[in-house]
Amino acid sequence: MSETTTTATTTAEDLRARALKLDATDPLAGRRELFALDDGVYLDGNSLGALPVHVPARVQDVLTRQWGELRIRSWDESGWWTAPERIG
Amino acid sequence: MSETTTTATTTAEDLRARALKLDATDPLAGRRELFALDDGVYLDGNSLGALPVHVPARVQDVLTRQWGELRIRSWDESGWWTAPERIG
């Protein structure tokens, strides 16, 4: 039963080294910086995902420029009229 | 027909003076500064009102602090859960 023997001799350091190696080669690792996350371990939020970092500036532009400055011209100039078609 | 006579002798200056006097005593005049408006004459926008100036900062707080930092805690701590009751 070589498998049992292998498991028994695995140390915490081995597991940490293995985890770090997997993290280093994780093709999805860079996705984390796309979201506003602190140092905590973020597991899941079924009712609300983490905030994408680009959202506040995007929403601010919609509010201050598209709504505040262009006003009803945004129906055409900011593409509001066709938004339902783009969003689907 | 004194009314006709009065109308005929009203000058543009008279009208301007009367308008300025009415503006100066308009109890609603201060409401204008609550909205993001340029120097143009804003008549109406049936499909979109002028932007209330307090909105961008309020929305930014909802995005960055309530969503970005508190995340699902905002259901309780930011009053999201009871928002439908407040808004009606």
Query: B54 lies in a domain?
Result: no
- Look at chain B and report how many structural domains it folds into: 1
CA distance B51 to A68: 5
A58 phi and psi, to 5 degrees? Answer: -65, -45
DSSP 3-state assignment of B2?
helix
Query: B75 lies in a domain?
Result: no
Query: A15 lies in a domain?
Result: yes
Q: Which residue of A has its CA nearest to B72?
A: A48
- pLDDT tens digit sequence for A3-28: 555 555 789 999 999 999 999 999 99
Query: A12 lies in a domain?
Result: yes
User: Which residues from B are below 8 Å from A55, CB to CB?
Assistant: 63
CB-defined contacts A:B, below 8 A: 56
Query: B15 lies in a domain?
Result: yes
ipTM of the predicted structure? 0.73
Domain holding A26, by residue range, is: 2-30
The alpha carbon of residue B79 is apart from the nearest alpha carbon of chain A, in Å, by: 15
Joined together, the tokens standing for residue B6 give 């009065």
Query: Which parts of chain B have pLDDT scores under 50?
Result: 1
| Partner-chain residue, chosen from B38, B64, B72, that has the shortest CB–CB distance to A56 | B64
Q: Please, which residues have CB within 8 angstroms of residue A74's CB and are 6 or more apart in sequence?
A: A66, A67, A80, B48
Query: B50 lies in a domain?
Result: no
| Partner-chain residue, chosen from B45, B56, B68, that has the shortest CB–CB distance to A60 | B56
- A36·B64 Cβ contact <8 A: yes
Q: Check CB contact of B6 with chain A, cutoff 8 Å.
A: no
Query: B76 lies in a domain?
Result: no
- B48·A38 Cβ contact <8 A: no
- A51·B36 Cβ contact <8 A: no
Query: A10 lies in a domain?
Result: yes
- pLDDT tens digit sequence for A27-83: 998 998 999 998 888 887 788 899 999 999 999 999 999 999 999 999 999 999 999
